[in-house]
């Protein structure tokens, strides 16, 4: 017996009489990886009788009313189904439906055709196949998916043959009101999880695709690891609709596709190593064997795990593309060096430009849990501090990796005695992107003489003796004044100018303290130690006291200028002296 639960309403069960022939065909669904599931095609082949059977014939003048039955053949019971053209009386209570008083047979047949089309017009209705001896317990049942309904051509005098084709993804056993048992459970290997007992109702997908791609990244990790790789994992599935036992939709097609995809997404950065092409190589495990041959032991995990999803509701599909950067450490660095040597300057310069990019260990959903530490920026900062620190943090000095790189380039270009105090440095921080960029320039000027000075300028001007003469104006003399030698010589003179730009962090009393005499005046280099002693020693070397044949020398009043706000300092002093010859 064939019974259709119209609109999945248990009170609207419709039995088709005469019972059609039933054929069931099962076709597997598979891709190159495995068998995905099966599709059942159920074909009902039957005959409509113009004045007997169900559905009942409708009146020609009113398709909402049935043609009366012959009382002696029985009575029509509680009406159900589309146009109320069926009744609920079972075959055990009434072996044969009542015969109707049909006079217009073609019209009766056409009305029954219309009712059958309406009965199967909705997807997801429960169709039950039961034994004639026990109509209340179905042998099998399924949620139908309507494919086609066709009626053979004919005169439609007494009969009309029809074929109804339905599809379903699962055939179930037992009463629909109880927990059903899927027919395919335990019989087919759907290989979703390598489990032959997988319930095919759990992951109903029409097809799926999983692909991996590994490709070089533009940014190297560092000088010792010149190449990083991007690993991309694509997952997509087209799902099928699943229903609850009451006939309501449990999951739509795209939702089942989503369930399948999400179940196979990576949950940690280590799952980047789910890349399929891995083989044992020289005692280790090689990723992308036979081509790239990455040593898995050299890569701690996948970083910057990102995921992009796409939902096609009408197509019933769901896809996610996730990617990682394969790296040993959670930070990347690239840099370039340039030198500038010019005939117009006695100094050569070496410039280093670099970019440090921090990598994240978070999963894509980790960024939703605010506040979270920015591990990208933290990882970039750790490397920057390591590269830029010599004695104090980020001083870019003699022992810093930045200076040592610049010195190596300078040596290769024939530039010697590179000063380890940069003439300029520019560092940019992108905290959101986890990126630090730097630009540092060194030159080969002499080493600084004063502790804590950023720039120094020491200028010495010597004025040597000249003739002493008188200039005597003469009226009307066309050749100008008369120059008269007096018989003497001018003095020796030396002007010394020292200009400094101080790093205020290396001056005592500097900072954001109160504005007073100590912070304004008493932290200048000529007072603070060791700068005061170093200035004194420098001046001793520049005085005429060490000139050969010095007899006597005198010092004019020193002139000192100090700007406590920008750390600029200048000292100007002049000497006059006398030599033996």
Domain borders along the chain are 2-182, 205-327, 331-447, 454-579
Tell me what pLDDT residue 194 has: 44
Calpha distance 492→465 (Å, rounded): 5
Helices 375-388, 401-412: axis angle to 10 degrees equals 50
Residue 287's pLDDT band (cuts 50, 70, 90): low
3-state class percentages of the chain: helix first, strand second, coil last, to nearest 5: 15, 40, 40
Rg of the chain (C-alpha set): 48
Question: What average pLDDT is seen over the chain?
Answer: 84
Rounded average pLDDT over 361-365: 73
Rounded average pLDDT over 448-466: 88
Supply 7's token pair: 């609109």
Q: How many CB atoms lie within 10 A of CB 18?
A: 14
Determine the 3-state secondary structure of 489 from DSSP. Answer: strand
On the question of pLDDT at 508 being above 70, the answer is no
User: Across 99-133, where does the E strand assignment appear?
Assistant: 126-131
Tell me what pLDDT residue 186 has: 36
Determine the 3-state secondary structure of 271 from DSSP. Answer: helix
Tell me what pLDDT residue 179 has: 65
Residue 448's pLDDT band (cuts 50, 70, 90): confident
**Residue 53 near residue 114, CB atoms below 8 Å:** no
Calpha distance 254→206 (Å, rounded): 11
Rounded average pLDDT over 518-531: 83
Tell me what pLDDT residue 167 has: 95
- Please name the residues in contact with 550: beta carbons below 8 A apart, sequence gap of 6 or more: 544, 577, 578, 579
Least confident of 459-463, 517-521, 555-559: 517-521
Rounded average pLDDT over 324-330: 83
- Please name the residues in contact with 65: beta carbons below 8 A apart, sequence gap of 6 or more: 58, 59
Residue 368's pLDDT band (cuts 50, 70, 90): low
Calpha distance 506→558 (Å, rounded): 25
Share of the chain above pLDDT 70, in %: 84
Tell me what pLDDT residue 396 has: 85
- Please name the residues in contact with 405: beta carbons below 8 A apart, sequence gap of 6 or more: 335, 337, 352
Range with the largest mean pLDDT of 126-130, 186-190, 331-335, 451-455: 126-130
Return the exposure string of 54-89: e unless at least 16 CB atoms fall within 10 Å of the residue's CB, then b: bbbbbeeeeeeebbebeeeebebeeebbbbbbbbeb
Tell me what pLDDT residue 270 has: 59
Q: Name the DSSP class of 397.
A: -
**Residue 43 near residue 164, CB atoms below 8 Å:** yes
On the question of pLDDT at 198 being above 50, the answer is no
Range with the largest mean pLDDT of 30-39, 88-97, 484-493: 484-493
Give the residue carrying structure tokens 């380890």: 420
Specify the pairing of strand 21-30 against strand 13-15: unpaired
| The three-state (H, E, C) secondary structure of 290-353, written as one string | CCCCEEHHHCCEEEEEEEEEEEECCCCEEEEEEEEEEECCCEEEEEEEEEECCCCCCCCEEEEE
400-403's contacts with Cβ under 8 Å and 24+ in sequence apart are 402/352, 402/354, 402/438, 402/440, 403/442
């Amino acid at each position: 017996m064939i019974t259709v639960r119209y609109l999945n309403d248990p009170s609207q069960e419709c039995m088709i009489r005469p019972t059609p022939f039933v054929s069931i065909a099962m076709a597997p669904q598979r891709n190159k990886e495995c068998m995905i599931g099966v599709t059942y095609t159920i074909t009902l082949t039957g005959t409509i009788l113009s004045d007997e059977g169900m559905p009942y014939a409708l009146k020609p003048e009113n398709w909402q009313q049935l043609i009366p039955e012959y009382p002696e053949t029985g009575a029509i019971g509680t009406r159900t189904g589309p146009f109320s053209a069926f009744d609920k009386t079972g075959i055990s209570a009434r072996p044969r439906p009542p015969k109707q008083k049909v006079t217009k047979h073609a019209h009766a047949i056409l009305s029954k055709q219309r009712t059958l089309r309406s009965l199967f017009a909705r997807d997801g209705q429960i169709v039950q196949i039961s034994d004639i001896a026990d109509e209340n317990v179905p042998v099998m049942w399924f949620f139908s998916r309507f494919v086609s309904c066709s009626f053979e051509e004919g005169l439609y005098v007494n009969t009309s043959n029809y074929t109804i084709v339905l599809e379903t993804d699962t055939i179930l056993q037992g009463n629909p009101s109880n927990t059903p048992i899927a027919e395919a459970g335990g019989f087919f290997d759907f290989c979703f999880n390598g489990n032959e007992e997988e319930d095919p109702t759990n992951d109903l997908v029409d097809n799926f695709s999983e692909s991996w791609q590994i490709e070089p990244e533009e940014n190297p990790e560092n000088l010792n690891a010149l190449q990083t790789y991007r690993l991309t994992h694509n997952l997509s599935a087209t799902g099928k609709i699943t229903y609850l036992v009451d006939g309501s939709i449990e999951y739509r097609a795209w939702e089942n596709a989503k369930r399948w995809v999400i179940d196979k997404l990576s949950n940690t950065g280590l799952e980047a190593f789910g890349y399929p092409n891995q083989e044992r190589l020289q005692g280790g495990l090689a990723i992308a064997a036979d081509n790239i041959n990455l040593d898995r032991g050299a890569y701690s995990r996948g970083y910057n795990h990102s995921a992009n999803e796409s939902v096609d509701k009408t197509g019933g599909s769901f896809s996610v593309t996730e990617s990682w950067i394969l790296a040993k450490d959670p930070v990347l660095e690239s840099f370039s060096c340039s030198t500038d040597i010019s005939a117009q300057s006695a100094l050569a310069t070496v410039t280093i430009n670099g970019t440090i990019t921090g990598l994240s260990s978070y999963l894509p959903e980790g960024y939703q849990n605010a506040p979270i530490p920015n591990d990208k920026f933290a990882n970039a900062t750790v490397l920057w501090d390591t590269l830029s620190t010599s004695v104090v943090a980020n001083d870019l000095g003699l022992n810093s990796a930045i200076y040592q790189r610049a010195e190596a380039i300078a040596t290769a270009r024939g530039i010697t005695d590179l000063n380890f105090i940069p003439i300029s440095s520019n560092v940019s921080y992108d905290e959101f992107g986890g990126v630090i960029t730097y630009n540092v320039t060194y030159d080969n000027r002499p080493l600084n003489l004063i502790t804590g000075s950023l720039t120094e300028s020491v200028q010495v001007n010597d004025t040597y003796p000249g003739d002493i003469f008188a200039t005597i104006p003469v009226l009307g003399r066309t050749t100008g004044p008369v120059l008269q030698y007096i018989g003497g010589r001018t003095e020796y003179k030396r002007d010394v100018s020292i200009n400094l730009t101080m790093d205020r962090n290396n001056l005592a009393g500097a900072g954001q303290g109160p504005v007073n005499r100590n912070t304004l005046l008493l932290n200048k280099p000529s007072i603070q130690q060791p700068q005061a002693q170093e200035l004194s020693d420098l001046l001793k070397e520049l005085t005429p006291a060490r000139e050969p044949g010095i007899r006597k020398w005198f010092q004019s009043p020193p002139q000192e200028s100090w700007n406590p706000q920008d750390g600029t300092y200048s000292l100007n002093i002049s000497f006059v002296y006398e030599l033996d010859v």
